[in-house]
Every structure is written in structure tokens, then in C-alpha cells.
């Protein structure tokens, strides 16, 4: 599933790559973008032109893998209907809705709620995920909800045009009792090709639930 597929960049990758999948569901709010994504014509796939929050609150479907590059929009710029749906997403996850929050937070929370008993998410997110105050409860939520968390950061800007530092958040829920986290830094997006996938399977640091900022794990990574 992809909660905000835009013109279908990820769907193209799915179509042209060597990935095995049974079916895919993509959501996109903008109808012109949704039409472009539909034109990818991926096998056994649907593109739903709707607000992701509304989809999240109404669907009974559950997914194995969810990937995305969610919108970065402050809540005050959301229309009222979307704000109400986003509040419901937070409530369903037992989190408090804050007007300071940003759309990418509710996309990550909502997507997590749509995973099957075991599953994985992979998101491109602003690097402020690691320490910004409005994402404190998101970090707490992720630390408890997921068993493995990997943060991949980049030395160079991945999107120089928008001057936004991004990270990859890769999480696995496997219903074990362990909660491990790891930070991996690569030079740039091309460097991801060389990333040892086995590293992602076994994050090494035990999550310290008392530490609200994830930069803590980075400092330790640099000292180790
Ligand atoms: C950063 S773009 C990413 C697009 C695509 N995933 C990519 O990587 O190229 C974010 C997308 O979210 C869509 N979007 C914004 N608000 C949305 C909402 N409430 N529900 C679903 N999609 C939304 C925007 O129209 C935009 O296409």
C-alpha cells in the first residue's frame, strides 16, 4: 500500500522492478495525480482518489508492506474534513492530536494501523522526525509498536531543490518482545544500492523508552 502515491513513482518501480507482490493499493488526494498513477496500470492494483486519513478510518483492509513519501503539510493548512479524519487516526492509536503537528506524522501513524499482525513500513520523512517536539509522541509510538527500526540518513541533500533534509524510516513489526533501533548513514541516494540489506535485519541498539529524542542513538553511533 502507498498512502500518497502522487503520479505513481513507486508504482513504476513496482512494475519495472523484480518485486514479488500479489496486489497493491495506492491512495492519492489530488485527482490529476491519481489519474497519472492509474495510468501505470499495475497488475491487480487500485488507485483510490481520496484523503488517506478517511481511507484509513474506513477500510477493513490490512497490508503486509506500506511505503511512501507523505506530504509535509502543517495541519492548519488542511481542510476541516481532513483535520477531523486525522484526529480520528490519532485517537485510534491512543495519541493526542496537536495543532502543531504535520501531515507526515498522521500518515505514519495511520499506515501503522493498517499493517497486518506482522508487517513493514518504509517512509521518506523529514529529518526532524529524530528530534522535533511535535513528533515526540510519534517516536514513542513507533518505539513500542515496532520491533525493529532503522533510520537511514544521508550526508548530502537528497532533494537539493527543496532544501529539506530527509531520512528513511524502515520499521518491522514481528510481535516479539525485543525493540531494537539502528542508525545507518550513507553518502547519498545512489549509495543505497551498496547498502548491506542484512544490516537492516538486525538493528543493534536496544530502544531506551526514556529517551525522547532519537538523535541520542546517533551520538552513540558516532562514539562506538
Ligand atoms: C511528497 S508527494 C509524494 C508523491 C509520491 N509518493 C512520490 O514519492 O513522488 C506527496 C503526495 O501526497 C498527496 N497528498 C496530500 N494530501 C493527501 C491526503 N490527505 N491524502 C492522500 N494524498 C495526499 C499530494 O497530492 C502528493 O501527491
Ligand 1 pocket, mutate which of 1, 2, 3, 4 (most atoms under 8 A from CB): 4
**pLDDT range class, residue 38, cuts 50, 70, 90:** very high
Write the residue with the smallest CA distance to atom 2 of ligand 1: 71
What are the backbone dihedrals phi and psi of residue 72, each rounded to the nearest 5 degrees, phi first? -105, 95
**How far away, in angstroms, is 222 Cα from ligand 1 center?**
34
Write the residue with the smallest CA distance to atom 13 of ligand 1: 4
Q: Which residues does a 6 A CB cutoff place in the pocket of ligand 1?
A: 4-6, 9-10, 27-30, 33, 51-53, 68-69, 71, 82
Strands (DSSP E) found in the chain: 24-27, 45-48, 63-68, 115-126, 148-154, 166-173, 180-186, 205-206
| Least confidently predicted of 146-160, 186-200, 206-220 | 206-220
Domain boundaries, the chain: 51-223
**How far away, in angstroms, is 72 Cα from ligand 1 center?**
9
* Predicted TM-score of the model (pTM): 0.94
**How far away, in angstroms, is 14 Cα from ligand 1 center?**
18
| CATH for the 51-223 domain, from 3.40.50.1820, 2.40.37.10, 3.40.50.150, 3.40.50.2300 | 3.40.50.150
- 145-157 residue pLDDT tens: 999 999 999 998 8
Helix (H) or strand (E) holding 79: none
- 137-188 residue pLDDT tens: 999 999 999 999 999 999 988 887 877 899 999 999 999 999 999 999 999 9
Amino acid at each position: 500500500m502507498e498512502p500518497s502515491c502522487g503520479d505513481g513513482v513507486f508504482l513504476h518501480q513496482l512494475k519495472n522492478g523484480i518485486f514479488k507482490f500479489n496486489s497493491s493499493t495506492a491512495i492519492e488526494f489530488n485527482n490529476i495525480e491519481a489519474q497519472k498513477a492509474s495510468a501505470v496500470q499495475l497488475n491487480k492494483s487500485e488507485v483510490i482518489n481520496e484523503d488517506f486519513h478517511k481511507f484509513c478510518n474506513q477500510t477493513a483492509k490490512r497490508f503486509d508492506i506500506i511505503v511512501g513519501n507523505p506530504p509535509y503539510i502543517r495541519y492548519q493548512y488542511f481542510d476541516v474534513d481532513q483535520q477531523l479524519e486525522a484526529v480520528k487516526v490519532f485517537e485510534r492509536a491512543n495519541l493526542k492530536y496537536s495543532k502543531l503537528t504535520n501531515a507526515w506524522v498522521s500518515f505514519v501513524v495511520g499506515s501503522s494501523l493498517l499493517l497486518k499482525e506482522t508487517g513493514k513500513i518504509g517512509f521518506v520523512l523529514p529529518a526532524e522526525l529524530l528530534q522535533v517536539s511535535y513528533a515526540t509522541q510519534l517516536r514513542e509510538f513507533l518505539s513500542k509498536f515496532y520491533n525493529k527500526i532503522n533510520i537511514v540518513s544521508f550526508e548530502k541533500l537528497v532533494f537539493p531543490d527543496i532544501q529539506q533534509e530527509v531520512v528513511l524510516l524502515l520499521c518491522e513489526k514481528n510481535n516479539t518482545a525485543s525493540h531494537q533501533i539502528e542508525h545507518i548513514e550513507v553518502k547519498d541516494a545512489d549509495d543505497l544500492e551498496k547498502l548491506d540489506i542484512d544490516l537492516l535485519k538486525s538493528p543493534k541498539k536496544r530502544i531506551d523508552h526514556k529517551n525522547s529524542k532519537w538523535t541520542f542513538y546517533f551520538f552513540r553511533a558516532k562514539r562506538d
